[in-house]
DNA sequence: CGAATTTGACCGGCGC
DNA sequence: GCGCCGGTCAAATTCG
């Protein structure tokens, strides 16, 4: 496993039950007694740094995390997040994996939104100009509602059919001026009861005033994080950065590398967080509840 | 009537 | 070079 910069944060929440978040599945990263903590499931980031191939990954990694193993998932839901070599994860929602593979195309427009030429002008772009990669994270939520209320206001700017899926993918932008955060929402075709939401970028503003005290009070950013985490950061990937600060390929990288070295589908289903294992490397123990 | 959504066209990256 | 595909644009339409 090469060194990675863990910038994506895949986050798997499950059934929202009242104001608690009942986690049904936690396969790669299981947190014990996490019934009310959605922050359990999948800490994973883009190993290929948004499209750049992770050349150091051995082919065997793909076997270990073959999505076909999802049937072996213990627990309640059978939903599994599996890391694939190009740093996507396969799961009950393979579209999420698709999201991760599209990294390189994401920022062609929001990079220089004001001055970049619109359609028809193909000359302005420097070839050697590396596209700015916005941090992204995705999570899967078991819900009937397509668009989850996260406290921010979004404007839909596109919708595309998803290959091999009957469900379209919707594209949203934050309506706040100068905020370039985007999100994609799609329903998993493999498990239509789940919705995959992918956020890209960081809000440069607070929650809209009109929403504070309402939904925002319940869903402070980071979305769906437990109260202990609310206010720490505005985005789960920032939280991730706090968990594995700065040189993220040290702690978190080691953690994920360790998990890649073993078979999570055999080991981690039965493991609780109390095994003092890999999760603590990434999740500070204060975030983990040890009592039932 | 302004804001938000819809939807077909367009763009650029990528694989063949 | 061509076609496919994901993502975005923007005119038309709908909504509040």
pLDDT digits (tens, 9 = 90+) for A40-52: 233 333 333 333 3
Closest CA to A51 of A130, A123, A138: A130
More confident residue, A236 or A91: A236
Q: Quick one: pLDDT at residue A176?
A: 84
Res. A284: pLDDT tops 50: no
Distance, CA of A105 to CA of A118 (rounded, Å):
16
Q: Quick one: pLDDT at residue A78?
A: 29
Q: How many CA atoms lie within 13 A of A35 on its CB side?
A: 5
Nearest protein residue to the C1' atom of B9, measured from CA = A119
Strand B contacts in A 34-53 (CB under 7 A): 51
Distance, CA of A233 to CA of A50 (rounded, Å):
22
- What number is the average pLDDT over the span A258-278? 35
Distance, CA of A219 to CA of A195 (rounded, Å):
17
Strand C contacts in A 109-168 (CB under 7 A): 109-110, 113, 118-119, 157-160, 162-163
Q: Across A13-22, A24-33, A128-137, A194-203, which has the greatest mean pLDDT?
A: A194-203
In this complex, the answer to whether residue A108 has its CB under 7 A from any atom of chain B, a nucleic strand, is: yes
Distance, CA of A40 to CA of A68 (rounded, Å):
22
Res. A8: pLDDT tops 70: no
In this complex, the answer to whether residue A146 has its CB under 7 A from any atom of chain B, a nucleic strand, is: no
Q: Is residue A187 exposed (0-12), middle (13-18) or buried (19+ Cβ within 10 Å)? A: buried
Distance, CA of A137 to CA of A179 (rounded, Å):
17
In this complex, the answer to whether residue A125 has its CB under 7 A from any atom of chain B, a nucleic strand, is: yes
- What number is the average pLDDT over the span A118-146? 55
Q: Quick one: pLDDT at residue A165?
A: 84
Percent of chain A predicted with pLDDT > 70? 24
Res. A39: pLDDT tops 70: no
Q: Quick one: pLDDT at residue A198?
A: 87
In degrees and rounded to multiples of 5, residue A9 shows phi and psi of -135, 105
- Reported confidence tier of residue A136, pLDDT bands at 50, 70, 90: confident
Q: Quick one: pLDDT at residue A208?
A: 65
CA-to-C1' distance for A179 and B12, Å?
24
Q: Could you tell me which residues are beta bridge partners of residue A197?
A: A139, A185
Q: Quick one: pLDDT at residue A210?
A: 52
- What number is the average pLDDT over the span A69-78? 31
* HEC string for A71-132: HHCCCCCCCCCEECCCCCEECCCHHHHHHHHCHHHCCCCCCCCCCCCCCCCCCCCCCCCCCC
Task: Give the model confidence (pLDDT) of A83-105 as tens digits.
Answer: 333 333 333 333 333 333 333 33
Strand C contacts in A 163-222 (CB under 7 A): 163, 169, 171, 182, 184
Q: Which nucleotide is closest to A104, CA to C1'?
A: B13
- What number is the average pLDDT over the span A115-136? 43
Res. A166: pLDDT tops 60: yes
Res. A285: pLDDT tops 80: no
* Residue A226 CB neighbour total at 10 angstroms: 16
Q: Could you tell me which residues are beta bridge partners of residue A21?
A: A16
Percent of chain A predicted with pLDDT > 90? 4
Distance, CA of A182 to CA of A3 (rounded, Å):
28
Distance, CA of A182 to CA of A268 (rounded, Å):
33
Distance, CA of A193 to CA of A215 (rounded, Å):
22
CA-to-C1' distance for A235 and B1, Å?
36
- What number is the average pLDDT over the span A4-11? 39
Q: Is residue A40 exposed (0-12), middle (13-18) or buried (19+ Cβ within 10 Å)? A: buried
In this complex, the answer to whether residue A205 has its CB under 7 A from any atom of chain B, a nucleic strand, is: no
- Reported confidence tier of residue A209, pLDDT bands at 50, 70, 90: low
Give chain A's mean pLDDT. Answer: 48
DSSP string across A26-83: -SSS--TT-TT--TTS-----TTTTTS--TT--THHHHHT-GGGGGG--TTT----EE
What pTM did the predictor assign? 0.52
Distance, CA of A65 to CA of A110 (rounded, Å):
33
- Choice among A125-139, A150-164, A265-279 with the minimum mean pLDDT: A265-279
Res. A157: pLDDT tops 80: yes
- What number is the average pLDDT over the span A198-220? 62
Strand B contacts in A 170-199 (CB under 7 A): 170, 175
In this complex, the answer to whether residue A246 has its CB under 7 A from any atom of chain C, a nucleic strand, is: no
H or E element: which one contains A176?
none
């Amino acid at each position: 496993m090469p060194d990675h910069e863990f910038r994506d944060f895949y986050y798997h929440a499950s059934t929202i039950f009242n104001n608690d978040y009942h986690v049904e599945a936690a396969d790669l990263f299981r947190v014990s007694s996490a019934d009310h903590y959605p922050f359990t499931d999948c800490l994973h980031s883009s190993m290929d740094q948004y499209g750049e191939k992770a050349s150091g990954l051995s082919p065997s990694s793909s076997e270990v995390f073959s999505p076909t193993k999802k049937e072996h998932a213990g627990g309640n839901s059978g939903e599994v997040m599996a890391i694939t070599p190009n740093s996507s994860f396969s799961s009950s929602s393979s579209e999420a994996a698709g999201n991760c593979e599209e990294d390189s195309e994401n920022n062609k427009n929001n990079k220089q939104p004001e001055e970049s030429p619109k359609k028809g002008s193909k000359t302005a772009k420097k070839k050697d100009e590396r596209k700015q990669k916005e941090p992204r994270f995705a999570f899967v939520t078991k819900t009937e509602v397509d668009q989850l209320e996260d406290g921010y206001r979004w404007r839909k700017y596109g919708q595309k059919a998803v290959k091999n899926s009957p469900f379209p993918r919707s594209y949203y932008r934050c309506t706040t001026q100068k905020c370039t955060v985007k999100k994609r929402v799609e329903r998993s075709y493999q498990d239509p009861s789940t919705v995959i939401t992918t956020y890209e970028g960081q809000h440069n503003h607070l929650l809209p005033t009109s929403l504070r005290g309402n939904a925002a009070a319940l869903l402070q950013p980071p979305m769906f994080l437990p109260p202990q985490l609310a206010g720490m950061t505005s985005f789960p990937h920032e939280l991730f950065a706090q968990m594995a600060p700065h040189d993220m390929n040290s702690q978190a990288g080691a953690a994920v590398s360790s998990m890649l070295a073993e078979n999570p589908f055999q080991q981690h289903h039965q493991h609780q967080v109390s095994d003092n294992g890999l999760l603590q490397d990434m999740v500070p123990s204060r975030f983990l509840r040890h009592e039932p």
